[in-house]
Chain A
């Protein structure tokens, strides 16, 4: 047997089998992930413009990156994205927590409510964007109409034009669409929560708020951090809803990282520059993911013996 085995070509040997079996997967990954990634990394070191394909070979070294560090627009968009992410995630966490706690108390119709709660997630972000664009429109929007009919405002409030209101309006749309992710994950946490420590805390002298603050909330935090990790990646790449509602305007007041990158890459066709920006932006996502994972691991460490 040993003799025959020695004569086999290398790709038929047993020790090689795992690689043969993995080959299709590796090939696919190389073709659809690694090559485009390397290509985009390369272009970030060139002056590549979409309308002039030969500029692909115009190697400029770190000039694209140097330009970013002096580009005020980029850093404003960067900061605005961080702010957008922080506000949206915190609001979604608070609303999601509230909804989860309320639904957890319901005994009748809970399944139905859980399903209804997920409706906003079923719509395309583009459509959500259009819907809120209509709601917030200063002339024909439902919101202004309602405010005026109720006598709460007499003028047309420029929801999507005003510097602060526009960002707020986008946050409202984002929160409306994605709060249920937090609600679902936190509800799962509440379902998994053992009842005994809650009762022990009650006997130990806690009022309902203290039980929530000292027992329920710490138990839920790992679930919140999972939701935050998912959502921070989601929000950091926000493009569709912003593009539809304001297009990054007015005058760049709602410009986030990816609307800026898309503008530089496709509208101005400066792909090399856009790719350099994209690589810097990815650092932001990695930073947030790392931060939340650290929090998650810290919060989970003691949950090993939660039962």
Chain B
């Protein structure tokens, strides 16, 4: 168990730079999730930590040791792969014990650790089967068991749930969370699914195009996105982003609607500034259908184009000056397309980003 440090890590394939000097400190026993769209460099980063990819520049250290030059087998880490990567010609028992056998552990120790891992993951009944005889979820559990038995410094997960069906994915997500609580270890987990990131992480690292966009706890990243990318990537449905301008103490949206600048942001904007107005669908609710209808509010009249029923809530599709804007209706009633409704905007939850830099105005 150890902390992992990335300093100015660069990855180049020939002339093409895919990771541009990122830095990240992962604390002892912390569960860190790297999240981002495909091609953002998150898997490459994980593979560099594992030693499966060489790093072009910078340093990576695990615990006190710089591991730049160490092959994967000397880094004492475990990895769970997207395709499980079980050894097809070995039984579950052999799969679990393989790493220990290679490390020349005495047979009694191997048997002990395998039994322990099988118990944690509920694999006792399956030990004599081959991977071909297991279901997807069982294979994933074996892959995790193989990671546990070696008592590594850190677990690395590379999109471990993306090959499972939706129901199983939710179930395994919970199991991974429980596993981390049982087996306290540093975890680096890669996913493109922001829900997985939110539910699992102690800290989320949002990546895009080889850069780290934001590092923070799930709540920080959700409530205080540093830029429009993080704002639209984290949260489902994504945050509405509308072009706007500051005029006096008002925000003028592109359709001419005027909203007051929230007090907490007053000092961060200047007259005439082009901004992007951000509002989560949860904070744009029809009158009488919000969660907590107190605090500073403003209201707008909007035409509902489409209503998407989800049971406890309904997603309402409307439009502001041509761009689609989503609202949420809690405790829903039937809504017919074309209906004009008055929506409340929770001004406390409004986000403002500079139109030029796409960064939160709070930074400027």
Contact = CB atoms under 8 A, between A and B. Distances in A.
Interface of A: 194, 196-197, 199-207, 210, 214-215, 218-219, 299, 301-307
Given A204-B73, A205-B73, A210-B102, A303 B89 contact: yes
Interface in B19-51: 50-51
Interface string B65-100: 000000111000111011111111110000000110
A218 B88 CA distance: 9
Q: Tell me which of B73, B79, B99, B156 has the highest count of chain A C-beta atoms within 10 A of its own C-beta.
A: B73
A215 B87 contact: yes
A199 B88 contact: no
B170 interface: no
10 contacts: A194-B85, A196-B83, A197-B86, A197-B88, A203-B77, A203-B78, A205-B99, A302-B131, A302-B132, A305-B86
Q: Which 10 pairs of residues, A with B, have the shortest CB-CB distance?
A: A305-B132, A196-B85, A304-B132, A204-B99, A200-B85, A205-B73, A218-B89, A306-B88, A202-B72, A203-B79
Nearest to B50: A203
A81 B131 CA distance: 41
A201 B86 CA distance: 9
Contact of A204 (B51, B84, B98): B98
Contacts of A305: 86, 88, 130-134, 139
Contacts of A194: 83, 85
A206 B51 CA distance: 13
Given A196-B85, A200-B146, A303-B88, 18 more contacts: A196-B82, A197-B87, A197-B88, A200-B86, A202-B71, A203-B51, A203-B79, A203-B156, A204-B73, A205-B102, A214-B98, A214-B102, A215-B87, A299-B89, A302-B132, A305-B88, A305-B133, A305-B139
Given A200-B79, A305-B133, A206 B87 contact: no
Interface size class of B (residues with CB under 8 A): 20 to 34
Interface in B123-173: 130-134, 139, 146, 150, 156
A200 B88 contact: no
A303 B130 CA distance: 9
B111 interface: no
B83 A207 contact: no
B130 A302 contact: yes
Nearest to B98: A204
Contacts of B50: 199, 203
With most chain B CB atoms within 10 A of its CB, the pick from A204, A299, A306 is A204
B265 interface: no
Nearest to A206: B102
Contacts of A196: 81-85
A301 B72 CA distance: 30
A201 to B, nearest CB: 7
Contact of B73 (A207, A219, A302, A304): A207
A218 B94 CA distance: 14
Nearest to B139: A305
B45 to A, nearest CB: 15
B298 interface: no
A181 B52 CA distance: 33
Nearest to A207: B73
Contact of A203 (B72, B87, B88): B72
Contact of B85 (A199, A210, A219, A302): A199
Given A205-B99, A305-B132, A305-B134, A200 B77 contact: no
A207 B50 CA distance: 15
B103 interface: yes
A197 B84 CA distance: 8
A207 B103 CA distance: 11
